[in-house]
Chain A
Amino acid sequence: MSLLFRKPTIFNAKNVLLRQNDVQILLLTSKNFSAVPTIYDGESDPAPKFFSSNVQVLLKRLTRPDFNKVFRKRTNSGFPVLKTPQYKFLTTEQLEAEVAKSRARADQLLQMPPVVKVQTHIKEVLSRDPALIGFDTAKYMFTDITLGVDNQHRIIMERDTDGVLQSCDPDVRKRLNQIYFPIKGRKIKEPVMFTDPERFNSLLDREQYEFVLDRACIQYEPDEPSYQKITSVAYQHVDSRKNYGLLRSTRHFGPLTFYLTWHLSMEGLLLELLQNNVIREAVLLVALRQEVHGDVANGSAAQGLVAEIMNTPIQLSKPESLTEEDIQLDTKCIDCIEQYISANSSMKSQQELALQGFREFYQQLIDLSRGVRKAHGNA
């Protein structure tokens, strides 16, 4: 499916509606934002791409995990009394062990919601018994509550009023599963914030992306059409406002990047990376596009740089000083991005400008660090 939302002002919503008449569309519009909800329903399945180890590594790195944000205090719902922090003297080994522990914990917190194709439902009829017509005016829903069966494989059947015994629709299944085996935080009825476009838009306008996406994760399964529609609109909103920073260091950044790359609309993100002087992540993004679509002119060069970039630490702030290896790597990155912009980019002028800005900034940085080294007598 083609996605057409790069510049919201250009699109006439009616045109988009006409092109996508196979998908039931809830068009979300507000003052200066309009988006068409999309689902992964095309012929190609995103799951093998998303779960491939190369893509996972790139997405995790692009998330740029900052422990200050990952472990920030969110709510105190689980803790009636806030704990006082503990201060300890640790040996180096103990400190390393603690850091490794929190790294593992951060990995857990940053686990990405899976990106999969939308579900297909096949109705299975077990028996047709016309002699039961008129038995009752209500349907009977049968749920097998045997212990140790997961929600996907639980037997849930309905006996219709016309005597047909058959499997249920996915939304009914979900409701019955939630009745007998409730998931904490999930509601039996869809929350109004998802069903009422006005409230949903108001949340997006207030930039409560993380709240929306977290709640969508709890409320829906990743292969449900409603989940994919809601998240796609949120991602488009993030993209249109360039609010990528709000989702960085959260588990939603990976799916956001994958969504934008899948629909070939990651130019805004690339521009943001260039403007914030993280050229290495820009190369990772190009490599991601090459992994997903394989249509980048110098894709193999970008993929070659990935291994080198992965060995360097994550850039959370402006680097203090540059070693010669850093300078070499970044020069290669600049070349790679330059080629990408000239061959593949759909936002050429802006990105070229940003790249030029980065070059000047970087030259200053190089001069500074070389000068400092010279002053120390190491050059």
Chain B
Amino acid sequence: MSLPPASGTGRYFARAAKSIRLIRHGCTNRPFYHISVTHRRRLNSQPVIEQLGSYDPVPNMYNEKLVALNLERIKFWLGQGAHVSKPAAEVLGLSGFFPIHPHSYMTAWRNRQAEREKLAKEQEAQKAEEAK
């Protein structure tokens, strides 16, 4: 199967609202995302206007998550007034292209909190064992 061109095969309407999204490709239990621009009212399963990058959420053997961004085209579509979905904005925020999304800070804070609680629990369990 040949891949669709990055320029996309979806029909394009100049005045319709656009959105930059993460669109899930890959297969069962193996997510892989295309960062694409499409009409806001279109489903993710429908053809897109243009692919702008990719995001692989599964860390590779070096513990890295790879993101590719076609910054030139992203700038173009933002200039055309495209909306950006929340996950896409988070990825763009981490890349330093956008300001960091508030949700990223929330996730980081929650993860740190969970870590702290886990540590506290472990310490308690240790103390309890020593007391026995």
Q: Which A residues form the contact surface with B (CB < 8 A)?
A: 126-127, 129, 131-147, 155, 157-159, 163, 165, 176, 179-180
Assess the A155–B66 pair: CB atoms within 8 A. Answer: no
In the complex, what residues of A have CB within 8 A of residue B16's CB? Answer: none
Bitwise interface map of B from 81 to 98 toward A, beta carbon under 8 Å scored 1, else 0: 000000000000011100
Assess the A140–B94 pair: CB atoms within 8 A. Answer: yes
Assess the B64–A159 pair: CB atoms within 8 A. Answer: no
CB distance from A139 to the nearest CB of B (A): 5
Between-chain CB contacts (< 8 Å), 29 pairs: A129-B100, A131-B109, A132-B108, A133-B108, A134-B108, A134-B112, A134-B115, A135-B104, A135-B107, A135-B108, A135-B111, A139-B64, A139-B65, A140-B64, A140-B94, A141-B67, A143-B68, A143-B69, A144-B69, A144-B71, A146-B70, A147-B70, A157-B96, A163-B108, A165-B94, A165-B95, A165-B96, A176-B66, A180-B68
In the complex, what residues of A have CB within 8 A of residue B108's CB? Answer: 131-135, 163
In the complex, what residues of A have CB within 8 A of residue B109's CB? Answer: 131, 134
Select one of A136, A139, A142 contacting B69, CB under 8 A.
A142
Q: Which B residues form the contact surface with A (CB < 8 A)?
A: 53, 59, 62-73, 94-96, 100, 104-105, 107-109, 111-112, 115
In the complex, what residues of A have CB within 8 A of residue B53's CB? Answer: 145
In the complex, what residues of B have CB within 8 A of residue A135's CB? Answer: 94, 104, 107-108, 111
In the complex, what residues of B have CB within 8 A of residue A129's CB? Answer: 100
In the complex, what residues of A have CB within 8 A of residue B104's CB? Answer: 132, 135
Q: Which residue of A lies closest to B59 (CB)?
A: A138
Assess the A159–B95 pair: CB atoms within 8 A. Answer: yes
In the complex, what residues of A have CB within 8 A of residue B107's CB? Answer: 135
Q: Which residue of B lies closest to A139 (CB)?
A: B64
Distance, CA A158 to CA B94, complexed state (A): 9
Distance, CA A146 to CA B69, complexed state (A): 8
Assess the A142–B67 pair: CB atoms within 8 A. Answer: yes
Distance, CA A132 to CA B105, complexed state (A): 6
In the complex, what residues of B have CB within 8 A of residue A140's CB? Answer: 64-65, 67, 94-95
**Given contacts A132-B104, A138-B64, are A144 and B115 in contact (CB under 8 A)?**
no
17 additional A-B residue pairs with CB within 8 Å, beyond A135-B107, A135-B108? A131-B108, A131-B109, A132-B108, A134-B111, A134-B115, A137-B59, A139-B62, A139-B65, A140-B64, A140-B65, A144-B71, A145-B68, A146-B70, A146-B72, A157-B95, A165-B94, A179-B66
**Given contacts A131-B105, A132-B105, A134-B115, are A141 and B70 in contact (CB under 8 A)?**
no
Distance, CA A145 to CA B66, complexed state (A): 12
Distance, CA A126 to CA B100, complexed state (A): 13
Distance, CA A133 to CA B53, complexed state (A): 26
Select one of B67, B73, B111, B112 contacting A143, CB under 8 A.
B67
Select one of A126, A132, A139, A155 contacting B63, CB under 8 A.
A139
Distance, CA A163 to CA B66, complexed state (A): 16
Distance, CA A176 to CA B62, complexed state (A): 12
Distance, CA A138 to CA B64, complexed state (A): 5
CB distance from B89 to the nearest CB of A (A): 14
Assess the A146–B100 pair: CB atoms within 8 A. Answer: no
CB distance from A19 to the nearest CB of B (A): 34
